Amino acid sequence: MLSFVNYIKLCASRRSHLLTKTTFQRYGYSTIKLTSDNYPNLKRNDNFKKITSDDLAYFQSILTPQELIIAKDKDELNLYNTDWTHKYKGQSNIVLKPKSVDKVSLIMNYCSKERIAVVPQGGNTDLVGGSVPVFDELILSLSNLNKIRSFDELTGILKCDAGAILEDVDNYLKDKGYLFPLDLGAKGSCQIGGCVATNAGGQRLLRYGSLHGNVLGLEVVLPDGTILNSMHSLRKDNTGYDLKQLFIGSEGTIGIITGVSILTPTNPKSTNVSFLAVKDFKDIETVFKRAKRDLSEILSAFEFMDMKSMQLTKKHLAETDGSMTFPLENEHPFYILIETSGSNKEHDDAKMEKFLEDVMGDETVIDGTMAQDVTEIEKIWKWREMIPESCQSEGAVYKYDVSLPLSKIYSLVESTNAKLLKEDLLYDPVKNPSGPVIGAVGYGHIGDGNLHLNVAAKEYNKIIEKCLEPFIYEAVSELQGSISAEHGVGLQKKNHLHYSKSPVEIKVMKDIKNHFDPNGVLNPYKYV
């Protein structure tokens, strides 16, 4: 048995963070423009102090050398200054990586008093430029706070540090028969605290709901250094304001999450994954309706991908991982990934079988496969999870993550492509060989009405951006959707918040920000 397991480990999915590093090496940091050059309208707030040797001396007095990265480690600093999409690059000269909550508190207390701007950072897998500095803000990385504090095997309540990596926590829980209620492609790098701070969604949301429901308590260091501890393990607690909710999705603007208490579900014993093909988007709706009806309580994921997104992934995987053969023989306009999770294999198999017979019987589904073993389950998921990276592999990607009424979801991809074509930006080997855009692709979580619209391009440039924005935001607003379903606002969508929030809502958000952070030192220049 060993040889097989080892072999699979050998060619096992290389996690996003590893690949990110290789991509970085390929393009080099130098090609990534500074955010301050890209956005000349953004000005550094002169109320913020530039870090002096005295400040450095203070940080050195409370931190060990392992908890500090400074200017001489240029390459390492670059990793913290640059975002995953290669679109944003800050100029921070200092990264603090405290190993205790008390140190986080001391740092914040000092920075607040000294008016030093701070960007909290988790795994830095953010997609909207929220986790990297805009100018010279100090970077406070939570990666050294990575312990699991406790786990209650009876209730499934987990308490852990904010810097614990999602995949590590998930593996820890799986050993105990439980599961983290959140799963996403960046799981090998992203941290629990960052997931909570950005209210990350992901593939399990359909089944287990959002973090607003699963998080039971938080430990947060406020901008002035106060530690707000509400690490409860209570499912019911109606005693006043539910403060933790404010920090879920706050994107590090009003406090730094250092600890998380979360309710975890039991790990389903039986999992089935099938990969299906349909001829148009309407059929996806039909399949979804029938999946809800026939698979009901065991349905745990329903993802869709369009042909173009799979073509890009095919190309990218062919270059990086030879062991990945496409699950189907031919190409089709749309693909669906369905996952079921339950406690009884025979029962789940029977349901899945009946469902598949039904959708294939009348040819709603025209082709497909069902994973026969755990390896195939992982490989099929990888086809979905590698899309973001594949869209990026041509050089650049404009990412939009929107919520829309189900029936309207794909029309946005079509209208975006039409606009790109009209403005002569779309690459065509014959008609437009110098076109900078490969194309707009669509995929996402149908179950949650969440579309990921990715525009793959050869480079970032202002002409493409002008074509896409505010066009996409206006289209979403018109359809009463949300301009950010699960990625947050960060820097990218800062000026577009009004498409999804009313002036009154925005004012209340600003009031809350001012209450917690009157000096505005936490994650400045971002959405509030």
Partner 1 sequence: MSKLRILVPVKRVLDYQLKPVLNAARTGIETQGFKFSINPFDDIALEEALKLESALPKGTVTTHAVSIGSNLQCRDILRNCLAKGIHDVTWINSGKYDLQPLAIAKILKQFVTQGDYNLVLLGKQAIDDDSGQTGQMLAGLLNWSQLTNASSVTVESDNITVTSETDGIQDQVLRASLPCVVTADLRLNTPRYVPLPKLMKVKRKPIKELSLEKDFSNVDIQSRLNIVSLNEPVVKKSGIVVGSVDELIAKLKESKVI
Instruction: Point out which residues bind partner 1 (CB under 8 A).
Output: 1, 3-5, 7-8, 269-270, 274-276, 323, 325, 327-329, 344-345, 356-357, 360-361, 365-376
| End-to-end Cα distance, the chain | 55
Least distance from partner 1 to the Cβ atom of residue 154, Å? 22
Least distance from partner 1 to the Cβ atom of residue 339, Å? 14
Phi, psi of 309 (to 5 degrees): -65, -35
Least distance from partner 1 to the Cβ atom of residue 7, Å? 6
Least distance from partner 1 to the Cβ atom of residue 277, Å? 9
CA angle 439, 410, 307 (to 5 degrees): 50
The alpha carbon of 332 is separated from its chain's Cα centroid by a whole number of angstroms, namely: 27
Helix ranges restricted to H, 2-82: 2-11, 16-27, 35-38, 53-62, 74-81
Give the Cα separation of 384 and 368 in Å (integer).
15
Choose between 331 and 459: whose C-beta lies nearer to partner 1: 331
334-342 and 367-370 beta bridge pairing: unpaired
Quick one: DSSP state of residue 49?
A: P
Burial class (CB in 10 A: 0-12, 13-18, 19+), 518: exposed
Least distance from partner 1 to the Cβ atom of residue 511, Å? 46
Choose between 365 and 420: whose C-beta lies nearer to partner 1: 365
Choose between 285 and 321: whose C-beta lies nearer to partner 1: 321
Choose between 224 and 376: whose C-beta lies nearer to partner 1: 376
Least distance from partner 1 to the Cβ atom of residue 464, Å? 37
Least distance from partner 1 to the Cβ atom of residue 1, Å? 5
Contact 277, 366 (CB under 8 A): yes
Per DSSP, the three-state class of 263 is strand
Choose between 230 and 270: whose C-beta lies nearer to partner 1: 270
Choose between 239 and 330: whose C-beta lies nearer to partner 1: 330
Which one, of 219, 214, 104, lies nearest residue 160 by Cα?
Answer: 219
| Cβ count near 404 (within 10 Å) | 22
Least distance from partner 1 to the Cβ atom of residue 360, Å? 5
Choose between 47 and 344: whose C-beta lies nearer to partner 1: 344
Choose between 243 and 350: whose C-beta lies nearer to partner 1: 350
Residue 375 CA neighbour count, 13 Å, CB half:
11
- Cis? peptide before 470, omega within 30° of 0: yes
Which one, of 75, 73, 70, lies nearest residue 57 by Cα?
Answer: 70
Least distance from partner 1 to the Cβ atom of residue 269, Å? 6
Choose between 211 and 356: whose C-beta lies nearer to partner 1: 356
Give the Cα separation of 273 and 288 in Å (integer).
15
Least distance from partner 1 to the Cβ atom of residue 176, Å? 14
Amino acid symbol at 22? T
Choose between 2 and 430: whose C-beta lies nearer to partner 1: 2
118-121 and 138-141 beta bridge pairing: parallel
CA dihedral 77, 79, 85, 86 (to 10 degrees): 50
CA angle 60, 517, 509 (to 5 degrees): 145
